[in-house]
Amino acid sequence: MQTVTLNDGKTIPQLGFGVFKVDPAETERIVTEALEVGYRHIDTAAIYRNEEGVGRAIAASGIPREELYITTKLWNDRQDDAQAAMAESLEKLGLDYVDLYLIHWPAPSNDKYVGAWESLIELRSQGLTKSIGLANFVVPYLERILKETDVVPAVDQIELHPAHQQPATVELARKNGVAIESWGPLGQAKYPLLEYPELTGPAAAHGKTAAQVVIRWHLQNGYIVFPKTNHKARMIENFEVFDFELSDSEMAAITALEREGMVGGDPHALH
């Protein structure tokens, strides 16, 4: 497993497993299977309502805590109550700390995200999280955090896939040493990404699937990525992406698919 070193000196597995929209009743089984496959980085959130299932899978796995990397997130209506929200997440996860805690959305109409970030800084100082970061903070909100506070986020987790690469946000983040995490890395099946010749061609050439080619594109771009699936066979497929490399021309062709094709929530509107 490849790792990325964050700006706080901590390392994070570059490939993880996401549980967005995973049924809480199925979460324990699905995360258990992911851990069996070899995933050690699990990305959840309070609003997913499946932290308990993640926690049960962790507890039953027998894997030493220090070998796991667990992320959860602060929901929008708790931005002025981060201490209590964190305590609730830790209780549900059955953990003493998480490895990464994120503000889930800027929710700009509430105008509480700068105060929430200051709360996350305090949570880190208390040892309740090893690293802190943001999710869905596009340029104006990331800029404000950078200008108005003294702690640079370790990561910014944004919607990112070949049709929606958010180059301005990626550029600002990288300029300031903020690692990019890709959510919805395969476009959430909301457009026929995996049918594009720019992907099917390299897939045939490398003896891989189009999905594996997309995940490889994320990895070679230096993004942290955590595809989500409920099926163990697909978990295995998504994990087998370290034994081939895309050429410069293949990478460029995939990057050229950019069309500002956002398929998820709008960071400017969600509150």
- Residues classed as catalytic: 48
Q: Please provide residue 215's backbone torsions phi and psi, each rounded to the nearest 5 degrees.
A: -60, -40
Alpha helical stretches, state H, the chain: 24-37, 51-61, 82-93, 113-125, 139-148, 167-175, 197-206, 210-220, 232-239, 248-255
User: Distance between CA 163 and CA 256 in Å, rounded?
Assistant: 9
Q: CA 131, 177, 140, 49: dihedral to nearest 10 degrees?
A: -30
User: Distance between CA 34 and CA 27 in Å, rounded?
Assistant: 10
Q: Helix, strand or coil for residue 100? A: strand
DSSP letter at 185 equals T
209 closest CA partner among 222, 228, 194, 223: 194
User: Distance between CA 31 and CA 135 in Å, rounded?
Assistant: 22
User: Distance between CA 113 and CA 116 in Å, rounded?
Assistant: 5
